[in-house]
Amino acid sequence: MQKIRPDMDIGKNIQAIRYKNNMTQDEVIAKLNLMGISITKSTYAKLETNRMNIKVSELVALAKIFHTDINAFFSCLL
């Protein structure tokens, strides 16, 4: 199972894209679960606050949910 390197700080971008899509964390979690990505609200919150590394499968699923290119999660990073 691949994970994004821990030095990549993408949680704020995930949150910003979620806000742009006018979605709550609960709505995103529900869609992830429907896609077969089992995730709790606590775990999702940790992803957005960079307290937990995101799995590649989760990132791909989020790109589908938000109808965005996966590169959007990495924009504006130093």
Q: For 20-67, what is each residue's pLDDT tens digit?
A: 999 999 999 999 999 999 999 999 999 999 999 899 999 999 999 999
Architecture of domain 11-70: Orthogonal Bundle (1.10)
What gap in Å lies between CA 68 and CA 59, rounded to an integer? 11
Looking at residue 3, its pLDDT comes to 60
Domain ranges of the chain: 11-70
pTM as predicted = 0.86
What gap in Å lies between CA 59 and CA 64, rounded to an integer? 9
Q: What is the CA radius of gyration of the chain?
A: 11
